[in-house]
Structure 1
Amino acid sequence: MGLSSFRSARARDAYVARYDESLSASSVPITESDVPTSFGRTHVLTAGDRSKPPLVALHGSSSSATAWVPNLPVLTATHCVTMVDAIDEVGKSVASRPTTKSADLVRWLDDVLCACEIQRSAFIGASRGAWIATHYASAHPERVERLALLSPVGIACGTSPRFLIHGLTTIGVWPTERRVWSMLESLVTPATRSALRQPPWRMLNDQFVAGALYFKTSMSNPQPRPWPLHSDCDLRPIASARIPVLVVIGEQETANDGPKSAARLRRQLPQARIEFVADAGHGLAQDRPEVVDKLLGEFLS
């Protein structure tokens, strides 16, 4: 199975049930499929008119492709959306060997695009997914039509040690339902916390909690999965190719220093549109969904 797996067959079944509940909440029809890659079988969700231009969506850490379900009405208005379960995260993908560096994730994602017959695409990524998408755009700028980054980490700034330690101890070391819910609440502003237990977020957050409880990460592995600890993305190929870039950061971001990240991005990617969202933290799509959808709709049109 590689470096990580579910704690048991029963645990996987329980998680998959939550995953399927999240899918059932979609107002846009979704097709599920699996594609082969050099790192294992990757689960893919597809939504929207296949005659429209492609958009590849990459979720954040400890999440899955279902995280994009609330955004689908906006995303599918202009694109056929391919949502991918990261090969080294909780989800329906099944790893056959580990990813140990960002180049592995670039190769894996390129395998996915080839299997899906996507030659060139728009990309959207959240948190760690934004980091993966940026590495891909740097390695293959000719295949990236535009790039939207929500709450990015590891691109212009490293990840906050406090943020990392909180997530590591909650999910990787000692996950309990109460602790995982507390972590989810820490990602949003106080005004949003009660909404996390209401539709449309309740099903997704129940799935997140199930993943934290049931998915086994190999903490003892000497080569853990690649993580955006530092700012390690080469943005020069993206700048040279003049790829349109949208960066959306919550004014109360906790994963890194948002203003510092924005300042560096402005210097390195002068073509980028950088937007700060008031009353939003790292989970800005939950804090201010209407603002995020408006920005994405404008950028993708």
Structure 2
Amino acid sequence: MLGEFTDKKAEERFFVTYDAILRKWPIPAEELDIETRFGPTRVRRCGPEDGPPVALLPGGMGTSLSWYPHIAELAVRHRVHAVDTIGEPGRSIQTAPIESTEDCAEWLAEVVDGVLAGTGHEKVHLAGVSRGGWLALNLASRATDRIAGVITFEASGFGAIGRSFIWWSLREIFRWFLPKWLLRLVSSGDPEVRHTVRPLLFAALKYKQRLPGMHLFSDDELYAIDVPTRIVVAERSVIHDARAVAARLESLSPHIRVEVVPKTTHGLSLEKPELVTARILEAVPVRPGV
């Protein structure tokens, strides 16, 4: 079965909101539809053509638009590709079911091939938040021939997502309805961003996802990742024990570095947007002269 909106009116409302937020994209961008076995995947590309390519993968229900606060800085010297994940609300169009983690990896591998086509680059860096981080690691644990490196922020796959996440989500959603002046007092990050993406998140709730669950990564899978990988986790995460994740991964593979960000939650990318941008720029080197 395919992901779909509950009805046509819900779909139209979502895309009206999507297009309104798209107008906040800070620099000119090219819209691509990369063909995959599971349907055309919408990718928004911007930045210098000779810059090192980076593919940005959003969290669940986030769409490529969740990256808009980071784009202006990321695209100064990098060729940035923001992805609408297939099987989730957005401009990608799912035409075949995604039934396994292998299918998820195949989809992303085909997106990577499309991103690199005609660029003169052989590899791309993957950057992902939450489910986007899981997608990046899921592919990197299977094949890295087209991947230069991976950086994730609060990636899933290191702990069971349960009741704590639900309660955290409800509290976070409540905060998003607070006035900006009060939101600034109770949450770190820019309240304008939360207020901007809030209507899109609620419109996305009318979309029925039919995707496989995100499995927990085994030691063997993580050890198989043979490219530079940086995993950034929140000290107060509700989806895993950040310190335990750090201890496990740093002793497991020389390719993996873990950073625990103090006083942050699973909303790390909203709470510390400047850190997210900085870590991506650190992870993706630029050739002299670019």
Alignment match of 2:139 (pick from 136, 139, 150): 136
Q: Which residue does the alignment assign to 2:242? A: 258
> C-alpha distance in 1, partners of 2:105/2:229?
19
The Cα of 1:193 is off from its aligned counterpart by 5.3
Q: Which residue does the alignment assign to 2:288? A: none
Q: TM-score, normalized by length of structure 2?
A: 0.85
Where is the helix percentage greater, Structure 1 or Structure 2?
1
User: Does residue 236 of the first structure (1) align with residue 223 of the second (2)?
Assistant: yes
> C-alpha distance in 2, partners of 1:117/1:265?
29
Q: Which residue does the alignment assign to 2:18? A: 19
The Cα of 1:123 is off from its aligned counterpart by 0.7
Q: Which residue does the alignment assign to 1:147? A: 150
The Cα of 1:144 is off from its aligned counterpart by 1.0
> C-alpha distance in 2, partners of 1:258/1:192?
25
Q: Which residue does the alignment assign to 1:209? A: 202
Local SS of the residue matching 1:141? coil
Q: Which deviations, in whole Å up to 9, do the C-alpha atoms of 1:17-38 show, x marking residues without a partner?
A: 2112222112222222222210
Q: Match of 2:224, as an amino acid? A: P
Q: Match of 1:134, as an amino acid? A: L
Q: Which residue does the alignment assign to 2:180? A: none
Are the counterparts in 1 of residues 46 and 75 from structure 2 also a CA contact under 8 Å? Answer: yes
The Cα of 1:78 is off from its aligned counterpart by 3.2
Q: Which deviations, in whole Å up to 9, do the C-alpha atoms of 1:51-82 show, x marking residues without a partner?
A: 21111111111211111111112321332111
Q: Which residue does the alignment assign to 1:95? A: 94
Q: Which residue does the alignment assign to 1:298? A: 282
Q: Which residue does the alignment assign to 1:125? A: 128
Local SS of the residue matching 1:249? strand
Are the counterparts in 1 of residues 127 and 280 from structure 2 also a CA contact under 8 Å? Answer: no
Are the counterparts in 2 of residues 48 and 81 from structure 1 also a CA contact under 8 Å? Answer: yes
Q: Which deviations, in whole Å up to 9, do the C-alpha atoms of 1:136-163 show, x marking residues without a partner?
A: 1122212111110111110xx2233224
Are the counterparts in 1 of residues 58 and 131 from structure 2 also a CA contact under 8 Å? Answer: yes
> C-alpha distance in 2, partners of 1:133/1:67?
17
The aligned runs of 1:1-301 (5 Å cut-off) are 2-118=1-117, 119-154=122-157, 157-163=158-164, 181-182=173-174, 198-212=191-205, 214-217=206-209, 224-232=210-218, 234-238=221-225, 241=226, 243-301=227-285
Identity across the alignment (%): 27
The Cα of 1:114 is off from its aligned counterpart by 2.5
> C-alpha distance in 2, partners of 1:278/1:57?
24
Q: Which residue does the alignment assign to 1:175? A: none
The Cα of 1:194 is off from its aligned counterpart by 5.8
Question: Relative to structure 1, is the Cα distance of residues 144 and 197 closer, same or farther in structure 2, using a 3 angstrom cutoff?
Answer: closer
Are the counterparts in 1 of residues 53 and 78 from structure 2 also a CA contact under 8 Å? Answer: yes
> C-alpha distance in 2, partners of 1:206/1:84?
20
Are the counterparts in 2 of residues 58 and 65 from structure 1 also a CA contact under 8 Å? Answer: yes
Q: TM-score, normalized by length of structure 1?
A: 0.82
Question: Relative to structure 1, is the Cα distance of residues 14 and 192 closer, same or farther in structure 2, using a 3 angstrom cutoff?
Answer: farther
Which one is further off, 31-40 or 224-233? 224-233
> C-alpha distance in 1, partners of 2:207/2:50?
36
RMSD of aligned alpha carbons = 2.6
Q: Match of 1:85, as an amino acid? A: D
Unpaired segments of 5 or more residues in structure 2? 178-182, 286-290
Local SS of the residue matching 2:20? helix
Unpaired segments of 5 or more residues in structure 1? 171-177, 218-223
Q: Match of 1:7, as an amino acid? A: T
> C-alpha distance in 1, partners of 2:247/2:188?
32
Question: Relative to structure 1, is the Cα distance of residues 179 and 158 closer, same or farther in structure 2, using a 3 angstrom cutoff?
Answer: closer
Which one is further off, 131-140 or 158-167? 158-167
Q: Match of 1:65, as an amino acid? A: S
Local SS of the residue matching 1:45? strand
Are the counterparts in 2 of residues 163 and 254 from structure 1 also a CA contact under 8 Å? Answer: yes
Q: Match of 2:115, as an amino acid? A: C
The Cα of 1:237 is off from its aligned counterpart by 2.3
Question: Relative to structure 1, is the Cα distance of residues 197 and 125 closer, same or farther in structure 2, using a 3 angstrom cutoff?
Answer: closer
> C-alpha distance in 2, partners of 1:192/1:30?
34
